[in-house]
Amino acid sequence: MNPVSQSKLQAHQATLLVAALASLLLWTIPFFGLVLLPLQYLNTHIHEFSHAFVAILTGGQVDTIHVYSNGSGVTLIAGGSPLLTNSAGYLGATIIGGLIIVFSRTEKGAGLTMRAIACLLLFSFVFWVRGDIVGLVSGVAWIALLFALPAKIRGRNLVFLAQFIGMQQCLESLQALYVQFKVSAYPVEIGSDAGNMAQFTGVPAMFWAVLWGAIGLGVLFVTLRFAWRNPPAA
């Protein structure tokens, strides 16, 4: 094995990184972010599921999950650990994203992973998801799409798509920073997970936003490095 060749990105890997960076830039440009709104719906469904899942694990009860037409969401919870449940949105999405990347190293793995995420969304949709019509339709659409894509897309293209979705979940944590800057500008209109954490802990919201963003980037780096340096045996 040539260590030099292993250190260089392959074409599809470089393309994946460029696509991820492009999506980050689009999120920050007014109106251009609308292009990625369908992907934001998926991110929000997974983010809110993570809140709900940890609430149940810590003894709480989940009332409903709302995913709205603008891509935002909220999970109504009673009981449980407020510290863990408020952190779970970004951190849970990050962990799920890392697992998607690691298990999507082959066509078969990518297909199984997509269908696993579809099952996760289906569970969330049946028991918790409520909200405006666009949020409900987006949930059904993503469930159907994730079940169908492995039958329509093959080989490296399916691996690319699955890992791109995984990267988006890790990069979701960076949105905590973006949201926090918006909160600073419009404190009356916008709430945030970081703001909730600040209320419970007394630690500034920006600290939590930076922490979650750093963890998301760290998980993304580690999982991509593992997936790309440890291809499964043929």
Contact 93, 100 (CB under 8 A): no
Angstrom distance (rounded) from CA 216 to CA 23: 15
User: Residue 174's pLDDT is what?
Assistant: 85
- Region 131-141: mean pLDDT is 90
Cα 194 to chain centroid, rounded: 16
User: Residue 77's pLDDT is what?
Assistant: 95
In three-state secondary structure terms, 76 is strand
User: Residue 7's pLDDT is what?
Assistant: 55
DSSP 80: S
Closest CA to 37 of 138, 131, 109: 138
Provide DSSP, 194-209.
Answer: HHHHHHHH-S-HHHHH
User: Residue 233's pLDDT is what?
Assistant: 54
Give the pTM: 0.90
Instruction: Write down the H helix ranges in the chain.
Output: 3-7, 11-28, 37-57, 82-103, 107-127, 133-152, 155-171, 175-185, 193-201, 205-229
pLDDT over 50 at 40, yes or no: yes
User: Residue 61's pLDDT is what?
Assistant: 97
Q: Encoding tokens for residue 37?
A: 């709104």
pLDDT over 50 at 115, yes or no: yes
- Region 190-197: mean pLDDT is 81
pLDDT over 90 at 28, yes or no: no
Q: Of how many residues is the chain composed?
A: 234
Confidence grade of residue 191 (pLDDT, cut at 50, 70, 90): low
Confidence grade of residue 87 (pLDDT, cut at 50, 70, 90): very high
Residues 6+ apart with CB under 8 A from 206: 180, 194
- Region 83-90: mean pLDDT is 95
Cα R_g (the chain), whole angstroms:
18
User: Residue 16's pLDDT is what?
Assistant: 93
- Region 26-38: mean pLDDT is 81
pLDDT over 90 at 168, yes or no: yes
